[in-house]
Chain A
């Protein structure tokens, strides 16, 4: 059974413990930042930042809201990055969990195409061309632990588990939240392993909360590319 995350933004307090836990587990260095007139920092995902909690002030129906959205890779069920790469030695899916994993071999890919392929604009490039993003804490999960971000979440805004159970949980919780927020929805729940519940329109939370239409066109191109992909790449993961 593949795994999924459920991120209930309605109970996220943006304490950003997840952001720090992610850096700590992956031993990623801190970025040098400045206060840019917002709490949100670093400004964006990067090769050394797999997770950024977006914090947006939005006036909805005349009432101020501060919307929080811990942004990360969605581990798509049909992952356009993986399809685009066509190189399992660089990008592969862990069959057991469904995690989409980037390796050091990503530097041999056409990284611009990979980044462009992502419907959520997640992968980021190092100076040497290597790509990085959330790895679902695969090493933890394989050893029976929760991903670091989920483990650290104080309110239970993030949960992780078998996909069918997570989907059921997400749908149940949506029902509860809808009573208070009729516009509440799950984002792309059928196509991703990281399922967000939002109380309002996704675009109010951050630019890439929901898959963009433009990217769907790209994925079609990728599907085409997959049909003509050279067979050699299939075994390259073993190298």
Chain B
């Protein structure tokens, strides 16, 4: 989230799309309800009428996989009706930047497409630069090659009529949503978006979110209270695990995993440190080497020295041009390319796309270690449905982990709040905390490597000192994450002693004199104490629900990021009532003479861009400090699939032709080629669109909730929801068991025949859609009949993130 949960209450319009907040994030509805009672409009866009829709002021149905068409229509509406915040767009976004003449878009493809590799050469997705190397721009937004005008051109095709044909949403509904949401472009109004897996789990997942980000920028909704792009995380600590590098492509704090071609620390830092020639651009990532070196110092301690590149050579590198994402790992496992596997707090046999492939892949393993609270479909895959245990040689080890309430430590919620938690009951039986398991594992591996082995240095040199009295100590880890001074350092005439905690990331150094296991968390555990354990209920001066001394929030306790875009050029908030920050420095003769901000922690404490008399300041910075040029990106040249979001159909879709262009599906989405990767589009055997979701009553793959009788009582069986029209067509009665099948698998479900699904009219054709929750698996309930919907989902996904396309694929439904 750019904002945070409580902040939803400050919104004037809440677009809930790609998520089902009332059902899957029930507590969020406390704040949605509060906003609504204060007059906010709540909009629900979903293929199915949900518990969220039941509370919305406006509900509009939409076929799964057509979000970009839906939102692209909104961009057109905002531009056509000039409803954008011109001052914000012209000064804070890259709308005035001039795009190079080589950049083109034609019939679904951007310039630079290499069909053979399903990849773009992004060489033409660039801005024209002036003699000083600063982007040329036209703040009047008149230049025909400026980003805003290219945006206009790009979305000129997204008229409501065509959008309606693609999405199946009624035209009147589209216009109502566009009008209502675009009203937040008015100065002082804020609109927010609440999204989750309904946007991410697509071959166009990242671009779904980009489309909304563009809308938020046009309307001036980024950085303000009640605005932002708000990802509702599906697990209490997903934000934390991403921050600490759960994923293969990043190091902690969103540093890059080095590529094989980054052969030295200097080359690595050079590759990933952006350079801006604009004196008004803070270009915060220019500090990259300070963070990477501090991270290496944290990993290897005294063993990391300037002479050995701080141990950079010991860190694993990934081959250029390949990926190590979930889908690819299981693809490789399926092909027999690795021997062992740790399933740690995960249940891939149910939670990964294309479960038949995943489960078959596990048969190729020599060993698997399953670290979990309970045995699950993954640990027991060898005795699952259709498996013959006598032919599977995989040895499975179960390490019982204790549950979150049985251990101390922190979680970081969707709103980036790091919150300390204490141990309740002691771990049950022989179960251990993840920390204890991983510490012991580390010691054992070190012992083995002492006896020799290939490339022992990374293991032997790893600092591994997070135990106190033989137990894992979460405080030691939290302090390590914050970071220490490694020697006496004097900064701005103040001496910081070796071994003391670093006050914030502004103090981190690239010379090895500081350590920090995650620069973003530097400031969370300082000499003043554990900031995440704070519990003050006192609000900040602006009284908008920031509660700055309740827990701690990255970065540097800034509760709403990009907040310097919440003020105008002179530092005055757009919204006088629910303001986030406000410039409170002194002015003399029309010029600011001292710098002071009040409210939230500002995105940098520089002066505003203009003085009260309208003259420009040269000591200010553009507000989007994490961007190289200081401006938010309406034109986003960094992504794999194009600088502007474009509608493509999912890998499996119900129409032969993309009505927007010749390019049916994303030209760069990964397609896997094993015999388990069948996919069928416009195949009469699979004529029905299917999507997946969760229910309030179960959690994730259901491992923690299916064995819970009270929750199983509420939702005892996997079900397929369908319209009355489809049920009639198929002769299906409400409550009877039916088969749902795709090109990859089949699943028995209970039919819920409901008014909450309606057939779509897609380009004059009736298209049916159904939905199945993914919380089930054969291991529990005991009947073994309630299986995972991921038996049906395809192994394809987003070209940037490789999150699987579990939200739109094709199935058939038949009576048993």
Contact = CB atoms under 8 A, between A and B. Distances in A.
A176 B715 CA distance: 34
B710 interface: yes
Interface string B691-725: 00001110000000000011111111101000000
Interface string B1-43: 0000000000000000000001100110110010001000000
Contacts of A64: 49, 59, 755-756
Interface string A50-85: 000000010100001111100000000000000000
B715 A34 contact: no
A57 B756 contact: yes
Pick from A14, A37, A42 the residue with the most CB of B within 10 Å. A37
B734 interface: yes
B734 A37 contact: yes
Given A37-B734, A66-B51, A19 B714 contact: yes
Interface in B366-422: none
Interface string A145-182: 00000000011100000000000000000001000000
- Give the bracket for the number of chain A residues in contact with chain B: 20 to 34
Contact of B719 (A14, A24, A35, A65): A35
B29 A155 contact: yes
B715 A41 contact: yes
Interface stretch (A25-33, A115-123, A133-141): A25-33
A44 to B, nearest CB: 13
Given A57-B754, A65-B54, A156-B33, A15 B26 contact: yes
Contacts of B33: 11, 155-156
B716 A13 contact: no
Interface residues of B, number: 39
Contacts of A66: 49, 51, 53-54, 756
B754 A155 contact: no
Contacts of A109: none
Contacts of A42: 713
A23 B714 CA distance: 12
A20 B752 contact: no
Contact of B55 (A13, A31, A59): A13
B709 A29 contact: yes
B22 A16 contact: no
Contacts of A13: 22-23, 26, 29, 51-52, 54-55
B735 A31 contact: no
Nearest to A24: B710
Given A13-B29, A57-B756, A35 B709 contact: no
B750 interface: yes
Nearest to B54: A66
Interface string A1-29: 00000000001011111011001100001
B713 A30 contact: yes
B30 A155 contact: yes
Chain B contact residues: helix, strand, loop or mixed: mixed
Nearest to A30: B709
A37 B750 contact: yes
B151 to A, nearest CB: 35
Given A19-B714, A64-B49, A38 B54 contact: no
Given A13-B22, A154-B29, A155-B30, A37 B54 contact: no
B750 A20 contact: no
A41 B736 CA distance: 16
Nearest to A8: B33
A17 B719 CA distance: 21
B813 interface: no
Contact of A35 (B710, B733, B750): B750
Contacts of B753: 37
A20 B710 contact: yes
Contact of A30 (B37, B710, B736, B756): B710
Interface string B660-697: 00000000000000000000000000000000000111
Contacts of B715: 35, 39, 41
A154 B713 contact: no
A34 B714 contact: no
A59 B755 contact: yes
B810 interface: no
Contact of B697 (A16, A23, A29, A176): A16
B353 interface: no
B751 interface: yes
A38 B709 contact: no
A212 B59 CA distance: 34
A236 to B, nearest CB: 35
Contacts of A23: 710, 713
Contact of B752 (A17, A35, A176): A35
Contacts of A67: 54
A187 to B, nearest CB: 19
Contacts of A20: 710-711, 714
B714 A16 contact: yes
A203 interface: no
Contacts of B59: 64
Pick from B29, B734, B735, B736 the residue with the most CB of A within 10 Å. B29
A15 B23 contact: yes
A96 interface: no
Contacts of B709: 29-30
Nearest to B737: A35
Contacts of B733: 37
Nearest to A57: B755
Contacts of B713: 23, 30-33, 41-42
Nearest to A36: B735
A208 B753 CA distance: 24
A15 B22 contact: yes
Interface of B: 22-23, 26-27, 29-30, 33, 37, 49, 51-55, 59, 695-697, 709-717, 719, 733-736, 750-756
Given A38-B734, A39-B695, 20 more contacts: A13-B51, A15-B23, A15-B51, A16-B714, A23-B710, A30-B709, A32-B713, A33-B716, A35-B750, A35-B752, A37-B733, A37-B734, A41-B715, A57-B754, A64-B59, A64-B755, A66-B53, A68-B54, A154-B27, A156-B33
Which 3 A-B residue pairs are closest in the complex by CB-CB distance? A37-B735, A30-B709, A37-B734
Interface of A: 11, 13-17, 19-20, 23-24, 29-39, 41-42, 57, 59, 64-68, 154-156, 176
5 contacts: A14-B54, A15-B22, A37-B752, A59-B755, A66-B53
